[in-house]
Structure 1
Amino acid sequence: MLIDSVTPMTTHEPDFRFTRPGALIAALPAVLGFVPEESLVLVSLERGEMGAVMRLDLSQALGGDLSHLAELASASGADTMVAVIVDDDGAGCPMCNQNYRDLCDELTAALSAHGMDLCAGHIVDRVEAGGRWHCVDGCGSAGAVEDPMASPLAAAAVLDGRRLYRRRGDLQAVIAVADENRSAALVPAINDHAELREADWRADPDGCGRRDVEAAIAWGGWVSDGGTLGDGELAALACALTDVNVRDTLYALAVGTGAAAAEALWALLARTLPDPWRAEALVLLAFSAYARGDGPLAGLSLEAALRGDPDHRMASMLDTALQSVMRPEQIRELAVTGYRLAKQLGVRLPPRRSFGRRAV
């Protein structure tokens, strides 16, 4: 059962209480990073404010065990949940409404086992301005969805540099392999470069690592400005990411002033490199996205990384943190190791940037 589990973690997140279902539904794209379709979305509320948000394909929710979803919800620390069922065809279907009542009953029981209460359930046809919602239990409450782009959380996401996608598939395209034939063709070049780098590393490990980190920073800026990389540069980067000291140093770029450029490079490598090197780029991308509060991109990147390497320790650790609703400020502390390693290598990293505080 694949669950998108995120928390509204924007650094400029406003103090906004959701007192209207139409406003809460409108905020979902800003939190998930895309407009949910055919979905069950579970939202935790803490003193009226949105906490953890979990999304599950509606087909899976209707035919599956909801205990894992409830377990993830319990990690949020909230005791009150709201369910939003997104179904374009079923929102006005009486028979479907009964199915959704049964779904909410099952969800209520699963949450209750963890001491949580499902305080409301809403069905909505589409998550956009003018979409219509009504309560699942037939209470008579109904209304229009407010404009998602006018949501305070959407404004906060834009301030944080997050892009909002029309659908989940558009977000997945950020990390999808662009050309499998080209990726496969890179394997000989990577292996050849690995032999050359091994000789350089044996002669001067710190010098080799320093050159790799400096090259990654420079190429990140090049890619961010619209430049492309040839097979030689891609092979060199793939080999550099297999060096633990280099890779751990590069995690620090996620909290530096050059974070956007580095993230552009990791995304390019994720779409271009073959396995197993691709996994390292995906984890760097996930860490960068997580550090700036983009849970959806972090989650998709970790999912892909663990498919390629189920035993990847950093990917597993970050995935556990994300599923446990650990906030970005805690994850950013891991970057301290990168700055320490950079000092040992003699590399000057971009200075740490300040992250905004939550408005009060």
Structure 2
Amino acid sequence: MTDTQPQPQGNNPFDDAETAHPDTYTLRSPAHLIASLPGTLGYYPSETVALINLHTRPDDPDTLDVGPYFCADIGSTEQLHDMLAQLPMLNHAATFAVVISRVPESSMVARATEELRLLADEYGPVIDACWCVSEVADGTPYRLAFVNDPAAAAEWGWEDCFDAGTVASVIASPAMRPYIDNGILPELDRVDTYEHFDPFLYSDAARCDAVAPRAYRRGAELADLMHVAPLLARRDIERACELFATAPSVKVIDNDDGLVLADVFDSDADVELLASVLTRGRLRDCLILDALEHPRGASAILLTIGRNFTGAIRANALCLWAIVAVSQRLYAWAGVALRCADDEVPGHSLSNLLLHVMLAGKAEDILDVSRRGCRDTWFELGG
């Protein structure tokens, strides 16, 4: 299984680790790069190869932006080359690899390390340096597996910690701040992040299956009304938006898997209404501003809808949930939700667009573009 974890770019001045930028901590040493992985990926990686990409800014070549991070199982490292091919190479500064395995002397680790060392494009080696560590935890020893430029340690100012060291504090990494702010922790395993968006109760999924045909019919009627009688369409859409304000205010990430339909919706009529607005793109876009204004209530609604419906309703719910997650700086979780949306509806336009923006390291742009699109759609409905 392979996975990309597109992240926004954090500010990291290359020549001064003590500046005011909040993420400079990450670039102080390999120890801090490794410690950033759980917060950035949304889970604690194991038996994994992680790639960390750095870029300079076009208007400020002394400042490094960190991201995106790519991951693959140790046995699937050849697919990392395809992932890297998606990266815009303009202003690319470096790519570092971290091999995480509890059996560091295994033949699989040796093979993965060698594949990484040989990974190259038309410009030469892709991986600047690679470290091995048994787990990402405070104080765990790491060691250098290879480096392509013998002068790299001095260039980065890491002479004392380049060849070996111990992982820095994971909880102190800036990548953990959004989790702390939201009262949650990264998952223990990558699989857990994907299962977060699976149905929790069979009865809830069955209930939504029964509602879905009515929701799709109602969505088609609302889409027609948007063209012929927009003021009539507004009434139902506004009622759907109001549900975010009255929904339970819960954590954006439902770590306890405690959210069920009965906790979030008062009736099947409300479920049908919200689902109907999620059947079509233009209807869906009307929900964005209210979802961002009430992120916790919106998260509860969108997660329960995304978990229990299928098709376009699920995909659109997960996309809006991802936008809310971005607003809370939970970028890794947003990326997982978008990939689940694309799995549900292959080629889903919004999930693909948002993933492309995140891969380019511009996750924050998602919020401005989404708000603007929502306002434009409401304007078409009469302001």
Query: Smaller-chain TM-score range?
Result: 0.7 to 0.9
Residue aligning to 2:274: 237
Contact 1:100 1:136 in 2 (8 A): no
Distance 1:86 1:96 in 2: 11
Q: Please, which moves more after superposition, 206-215 or 304-313?
A: 206-215
**Distance (whole Å) between structure 2 residues aligned to residue 197 and residue 335 of structure 1:** 22
User: Which sits farther off after the overlay, 232-241 or 152-161?
Assistant: 152-161
Structure 2 residue runs of 5 or longer lacking an equivalent are 12-20, 56-62, 151-161, 251-258
Among candidates 120, 125, 138, match of residue 134 of structure 2: 125
Q: How does 1:182-221 map to 2 (within 5 A)?
A: 182-192=204-214, 195=217, 202=225, 204-219=229-244, 221=246
In the alignment, does 2:9 pair up with 1:4?
A: no
Tell me the distance in 2 between the aligned counterparts of 1:199 and 1:257.
27
Alignment of 1:304-319 (within 5 A): 304-319=340-355
Task: Say whether the 8 Å CA contact 1:234–1:273 is kept in structure 2.
Answer: no
Separation in structure 2 between the aligned mates of residue 289 and residue 114 of structure 1, nearest angstrom: 37
**C-alpha separation in 1, matches of 2:26 and 2:244:** 43
Q: In the TM superposition, what is the alpha-carbon distance from 1:291 to its structure 2 partner?
A: 4.5
Q: Which residue of 2 aligns with 1:69?
A: 83
**Identity across matched positions, percent:** 20
SS for the counterpart of 2:335 is helix
Residue 287 of structure 1, aligned match among 323, 326, 330: 323
SS in 2 for 1:148: coil
TM superposition shift of 1:50: 2.9
What is the CA–CA distance in structure 2 between the aligned matches of 1:208 and 1:330, rounded to whole Å?
26
Once the two structures are superposed, the pairs formed by residues 106-121 of structure 1 within 5 Å of their partners are 106-107=118-119, 109=120, 112-113=121-122, 117-121=126-130
* Residue-by-residue CA offset, 1:210-253 (whole Å, 9 max, x unaligned): 33333333245313357332433222211121244331111234
User: Any stretches of 5+ residues in structure 1 without a counterpart?
Assistant: 348-360
Q: Which has the higher contact order (CA 8 A, sep 6+)?
A: 1
1:343 Cα deviation after fit: 4.7
Q: CA deviation at 1:311?
A: 3.5
Quick one: distance in 1 between partners of 2:197 and 2:40?
Answer: 19
In structure 2, what is the equivalent of residue 55 of structure 1? 71
2:254 alignment counterpart: none
The alpha-carbon deviation at position 13 of structure 1 amounts to 4.5
Q: CA RMSD in A?
A: 3.3
State TM-score, norm by structure 2: 0.76
Q: Does the aligned pair in 1 maintain the 2:178–2:328 contact within 8 Å?
A: no
- Deviation of the 1:149 alpha carbon: 0.5
Alignment coverage as a number of residue pairs:
339
Q: Map residues 1-360 of structure 1 onto 2, 5 A cutoff.
A: 2-8=2-8, 13-16=22-25, 18-46=27-55, 50-61=66-77, 64-75=78-89, 77-89=91-103, 91=104, 93=105, 95-96=107-108, 98-107=110-119, 109=120, 112-113=121-122, 117-137=126-146, 141-155=163-177, 157-159=179-181, 163-180=185-202, 182-192=204-214, 195=217, 202=225, 204-219=229-244, 221-224=246-249, 227-229=263-265, 230-253=267-290, 256-329=292-365, 331-345=367-381
